[in-house]
Structure 1
Amino acid sequence: MTRRARLLLPRTPLHLIQRGNNRSVCFADHDDCLAYLQLLEEVSRACSVDIHAYVLMTNHVHLLATPRVDPQAISAMMKRIGQVYVQRFNRRYQRTGTLFEGRFRSCLVGESRYLLACHAYIELNPVRAGMVAHPGEYRWSSYAANAQGQVDPIVTPHGAVMELGAGAADRHGAYRELFRHHLANGLVDEIRQVTHSGLVLGTPRFQQQVAELLGRRTVRGTPGRKPRRPPEDVE
């Protein structure tokens, strides 16, 4: 069966999940995380992709990224990172074969409300997983950069984040306010569903605009029999 082409647009953010094959561990210790983040910094720059948010979990990765020009640049970035990181991982742990699932899941993200919700969704992942009580306690995410002003060469703030305040202190304070309450369950489910389905996260107007630009369906079809969802770890 031919794989459905991704919904991609230049200068439009994409939320993506790359999962370990069969949900296997892809970050066993701090050195693995550091190696992946170094690659992410180098390859995202080379591919002209801006990274706005990220989190490394034990068996998967979340990114919120925008291709500056070529909408295919994110796929090229993930392919290169996968090649180099998997080679390193296999050498280190004396293993062979694939590490990540063959294809990352993704969705286009539109409008500030949804983009900021996606930021929170990504950086709250360790909290939903019960690993920490607050996102600031988790080292392997972009929260410290976006909420606390910590220098992170990987992160390029999106315009929606920059508009949260006139100065850095105001902006970081407003960003932290996004985390005072957890995301509503309905919004968490919506982000999961559209990401797994490769559709569009945004208002009906934005979804329609993307559909007209790409000539593709951008929302879920009328449900019949619902597909089985595998038991999922936190996303």
Structure 2
Amino acid sequence: MARLPRLTLAQQLHHVIQRGNNRQPIVVDTADRERLVALWAEHAPRFGVALHAYVLMDNHFHLLVTPSTAEGLPQFMQAVGRSYVRSFNDRHARSGTLWEGRYRATVLQAERYLLPCMVYLDLNPVRAGLVAEARDFAWSSHHHYAGLRSDRFLSPHPLYWALGNTPFAREAAYAERVREGIGAHEQTLLTDAALQGWAAGDERFLAQLQQDTPRRLVKARAGRRPNPPTV
């Protein structure tokens, strides 16, 4: 079966996952981590990509972004990927590929999944057993949104601003959302949506989204022809 084209739409929230080839490390030390984060900070504004949240693990990373154009996200990922692989290979005297093929991404309904996906990213190191709490992990956007650090390259989504009228209120409300966590069903949905390329949202959102692309947005039910969702 032919692989579906990657779903990239302007002005929509996207969850992006990039893994290392054969699950190998994509960062070895602090210098690698700082280099990759610096490339995100450099290229996001260049390609009109609002970077809302991230988590950088040893062998993969997640981004939560909104591109201003359909071309912005793939251009951003290509520029970051090429520059980082050159740097990584030079520093560690290696050659060849670093990434596990193309990055995975899909569109999320922001009103429904922005905050759950941010929490999902923050808790990734906790689920992996690296830290006890999200605040204990330095290489994610959690510190920024919990008021522990200022990452100037991040672009908070309007839905984050709606959490409170003051920075303290927003930070406290967000930290509470992280403490509450997300359920197993929502965690699986967010993972599968990004890895398989299916959009995530309610029927009205998917129906409106389908008007902007001929590409199928949801997995077809077995034995039936796929139809776009109806309002």
For normalisation by structure 1, the TM-score amounts to 0.91
Label 1:89 to 1:212 Cα distance change in 2 as closer, same or farther (>3 A). same
CA contact (8 A) 1:43 1:81 kept: yes
- Counterpart CA distance in 1 for 2:103 and 2:222 is 24
* Contiguous gaps of at least 5 residues in structure 1: 225-235
- Is residue 2:169 matched to residue 1:170? yes
Amino acid at match of 2:54: Y
> SS in structure 1 opposite 2:212?
helix
* Contiguous gaps of at least 5 residues in structure 2: 224-231
- Counterpart CA distance in 2 for 1:223 and 1:133 is 41
Amino acid at match of 1:217: R
Cα shift at 1:223: 4.5
> SS in structure 2 opposite 1:98?
coil
> SS in structure 2 opposite 1:133?
coil
Aligned pairs for 1:48-197 within 5 A: 48-68=48-68, 70-148=69-147, 150-197=149-196
Amino acid at match of 1:142: S
Aligned pairs for 1:11-30 within 5 A: 11-30=11-30
Cα shift at 1:183: 0.9
> SS in structure 2 opposite 1:55?
strand
CA contact (8 A) 2:20 2:99 kept: yes
Kindly report the root-mean-square deviation, in angstroms, between the aligned alpha carbons of the 2 structures: 1.4
Aligned position for 2:36: 36
CA contact (8 A) 1:47 1:77 kept: yes
What CA deviation, in whole Å up to 9, does each residue of 1:5-54 have, x standing for no partner? 22222111100000001111101111110010111100111111110000
- Is residue 2:36 matched to residue 1:45? no
- Counterpart CA distance in 1 for 2:142 and 2:222 is 36
Aligned pairs for 1:184-223 within 5 A: 184-223=183-222
- Counterpart CA distance in 2 for 1:94 and 1:152 is 31
Cα shift at 1:149: 5.5
Cα shift at 1:192: 1.0
Amino acid at match of 1:112: E
Aligned position for 1:233: none
- Counterpart CA distance in 2 for 1:26 and 1:16 is 16
- Counterpart CA distance in 2 for 1:23 and 1:223 is 31
> SS in structure 2 opposite 1:17?
strand
CA contact (8 A) 2:11 2:66 kept: yes
Cα shift at 1:61: 0.8
Cα shift at 1:147: 1.8
> SS in structure 1 opposite 2:6?
coil
- Per mean C-alpha deviation after superposition, the further-off stretch among 147-156 and 187-196 is 147-156
Cα shift at 1:140: 0.4
Cα shift at 1:3: 4.2
CA contact (8 A) 2:8 2:73 kept: no
CA contact (8 A) 1:208 1:218 kept: no
CA contact (8 A) 1:6 1:198 kept: yes
Amino acid at match of 1:24: Q
Cα shift at 1:60: 0.3
